[in-house]
Amino acid sequence: MPLFGAVQGFQPIAGFNYEARLFDRVRKTLKLTLVYATAYTSVGFLLLFLMPRFFAGIFTTVAYVMRFFLAVFPLIGIKIIGCSYFLVPGKPFPSLVLNLSRQFLLLIPLLLILPRFFGLSGLLISFPIADFQVTIITVVWLLGETDLRSTGG
């Protein structure tokens, strides 16, 4: 939930500065929000990874399953903030593709293929693989965004 709060704070600030053609401020806001999101998810990852039985015990007795789902948890903030960024300059298509890519374009094929070869482990590794792939796609798409690479907009 705090990540979605960061998104809610990021969008109006970035949108205002984007419309004012203050692209340096947009870049700084994006970088600061990405650092916050990565730091927050990394702390969550460490807590959940180091104490899986404690947290899993709240819901289930199978703590090792959490480690699969948490493998790329520190990177999730990049995907969430990246998807939000593309709404700032009025580019909903990249945001839509990135939001749908994890569940539909990446996760479903992995869920259909990997368990056939690796059984339950294939099922479990499908989730972090999809999360990692969508994070890479998000980073590439963000780096390709000319507003982020130029200094004057």
Interatomic CA distance for residues 126 and 45, integer angstroms: 18
Interatomic CA distance for residues 56 and 49, integer angstroms: 10
pLDDT in tens, 66-104: 777 788 888 888 998 988 898 888 888 999 999 899 888
Helices 108-143, 92-100: axis angle to 10 degrees equals 150
pLDDT in tens, 28-72: 999 999 999 999 989 988 988 888 777 777 666 566 677 777 888
What pTM did the predictor assign? 0.68
Output the CA–CA distances (angstroms, integers) from residue 146 to 24, 103, 140, in the order listed: 12, 28, 12
A 10 A CB-CB count for 12 gives: 10
Q: How far does Cα 42 stand from its chain's mean position? A: 12
pLDDT score at 153? 47
